């Protein structure tokens, strides 16, 4: 636990101090983050984050379409439903042509970013993926990749092919917890990958799974301190959702209210970041995904994997059966007074 209260409670001074630090990019100390996480009531924390989001990013929501093109994975992450030891899962691997046809459809709907995500599938190496990236770039949209840990030269090939952004959640900065949960890699390697991606001038996305078995609140503060150092362009946090076909089947769900608090704190320390309201929050209860937009979030990443594959990209249960009702969401954003980056000319 932390020792002293760094800032007085319940005064305007508190709000002013936080906003000033946030806007000026002054780093928050462990004590300050602990105070905000442990002592400040959630609603005040969300309100602060919402204010910062509005001031720094305005009312625009970015919609980024995800295509999960392969659920083959060489890794055995303890929390993940597509881990290699889940022999009951039907595996699929989309073909180049299928991915491109899907991407084109989404571009015609008005999406300006296509996100390609997969397990760590050795058959989808950087060379093969770079061809798809090049083709999607011809549609005039941004390409985000989320295909796990690769060598520097592979990240370079993909960047060269035109990939703009890369999502690689660091999951947890707790070294022991990380190596237990991800036996095929190390925290050190994951962090190295994140810095390589920065060096190659990708827009980089990191983030945590919140509520992992054995994860402490103090370690979440370490996650925030790490994010403050890494300064990623994007940060996605989601609650842990136990998958019945994994060794973590019996553990409880991550607390969505805690996720919202960490989202808010992330907005405070990284005022300009793009922060998604994650699908996992919505799986626990759709209300939390909406709430995230009042706690600092400004991005939504609809899962638009073709229906015939979608249910098999089951990193956690309930994910594949989520339908993304685009018109419903556009209406929701309109009611919330938020604009979206969906191109109005192409959209129908």
Q: Which of 80, 133, 177, 235 forms a contact with ligand SAH (CB under 6 A)?
A: 80
**Residue 75 β-bridge partners:** none
Q: How far is the CB of 293 from ligand SAH (least distance, A)?
A: 20
Check residue 279 for interaction with ligand SAH (CB under 6 A).
no
203-206 and 209-210 strand pairing: unpaired
Q: Where are the beta strands (DSSP E) in the chain?
A: 60-63, 65-70, 113-118, 142-146, 165-167, 203-206, 209-210, 234-235, 238-239, 299-300, 339-340
Check residue 45 for interaction with ligand SAH (CB under 6 A).
no
- Give the chain's radius of gyration (CA, Å): 20
Q: Supply the angle between the helices 96-109 and 126-137 in degrees, to the nearest 10.
A: 30
C-beta of 301 vs 326, nearer to ligand SAH: 301
At 235 the three-state DSSP class reads strand
Diameter of the chain measured on Cα atoms: 59
C-beta of 57 vs 237, nearer to ligand SAH: 237
The answer on whether 190 is annotated among ligand-binding residues is yes
Judged by CB under 6 A, which stretch of 25-33, 34-42, 135-143, 238-246 contacts ligand SAH?
Answer: 238-246
Q: Which of 32, 102, 171, 303 forms a contact with ligand SAH (CB under 6 A)?
A: 171
Q: How far is the CB of 242 from ligand SAH (least distance, A)?
A: 7
Check residue 159 for interaction with ligand SAH (CB under 6 A).
no
Helix and strand numbers, DSSP H then E, in the chain:
14, 11
C-beta of 209 vs 326, nearer to ligand SAH: 209
At 231 the three-state DSSP class reads coil
Q: What gap in Å lies between CA 114 and CA 132, rounded to an integer? A: 11
Alpha helices in 270-306 (DSSP H): 279-284, 286-292
The answer on whether 77 is annotated among ligand-binding residues is yes
Check residue 280 for interaction with ligand SAH (CB under 6 A).
yes
Q: How far is the CB of 282 from ligand SAH (least distance, A)?
A: 12
Upper half-sphere CA count for residue 113 (Cβ side, 13 Å)? 23
The answer on whether 171 is annotated among ligand-binding residues is yes
Reference 2, options 23, 26, 33; nearest CA is 33
C-beta of 110 vs 211, nearer to ligand SAH: 211
Q: Which positions from 250 to 269 touch ligand SAH by CB under 6 A, shown as an x/- string?
A: --------------------
Q: Which of 126, 145, 168, 260 forms a contact with ligand SAH (CB under 6 A)?
A: 168
The answer on whether 188 is annotated among ligand-binding residues is no
Check residue 169 for interaction with ligand SAH (CB under 6 A).
yes
Binding-site residues: 73, 77, 80, 146, 171, 190
Q: Which residues of this chain interact with ligand SAH, rule CB under 6 A?
A: 79-80, 117, 119-120, 146-148, 168-169, 171, 209, 238, 240-241, 243, 280, 315-316
């Amino acid at each position: 636990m932390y020792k002293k209260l760094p800032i007085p409670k319940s005064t305007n001074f508190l709000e002013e101090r936080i906003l000033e630090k946030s806007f000026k990019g002054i780093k928050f100390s462990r004590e300050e983050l602990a105070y905000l996480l442990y002592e400040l009531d959630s609603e005040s924390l969300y309100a602060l984050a919402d204010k910062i989001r509005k001031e720094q990013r305005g009312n625009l929501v970015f919609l980024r379409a995800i295509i999960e093109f392969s659920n083959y994975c060489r890794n055995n992450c303890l929390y993940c439903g597509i881990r290699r030891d889940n022999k009951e899962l039907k595996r699929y691997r989309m073909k180049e042509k299928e991915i491109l046809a899907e991407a084109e459809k989404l571009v015609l709907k008005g999406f300006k970013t296509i996100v390609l995500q997969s397990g760590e599938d050795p058959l989808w190496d950087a060379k093969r993926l770079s061809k798809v990236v090049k083709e999607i770039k011809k549609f005039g949209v941004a390409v985000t990749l989320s295909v796990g840990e690769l060598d520097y030269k592979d990240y370079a090939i993909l960047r060269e092919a035109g990939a703009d952004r890369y999502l690689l959640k660091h999951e947890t900065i707790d070294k022991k917890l990380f190596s237990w949960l991800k036996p095929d890699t190390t925290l050190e390697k994951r962090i190295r990958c994140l810095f390589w991606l920065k060096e190659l001038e990708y827009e980089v996305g990191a983030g945590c799974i919140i509520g992992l078995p054995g994860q402490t609140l103090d370690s979440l503060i370490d996650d925030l301190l790490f994010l403050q150092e890494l300064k990623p362009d994007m940060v996605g946090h989601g609650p842990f959702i136990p998958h019945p076909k994994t060794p973590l089947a019996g553990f409880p769900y991550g607390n969505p209210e805690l996720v919202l608090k960490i989202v808010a704190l992330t907005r405070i320390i990284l005022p300009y970041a793009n922060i998604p309201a994650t699908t996992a929050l919505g799986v626990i209860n759709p209300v939390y995904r909406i709430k995230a937009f009042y706690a600092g979030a400004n991005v939504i990443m609809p899962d638009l994997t073709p229906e015939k594959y979608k249910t098999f990209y089951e990193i956690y249960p309930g994910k594949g059966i989520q339908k993304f009702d685009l018109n419903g969401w556009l209406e929701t954003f309109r009611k919330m007074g938020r604009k979206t980056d969906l191109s109005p000319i192409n959209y129908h």
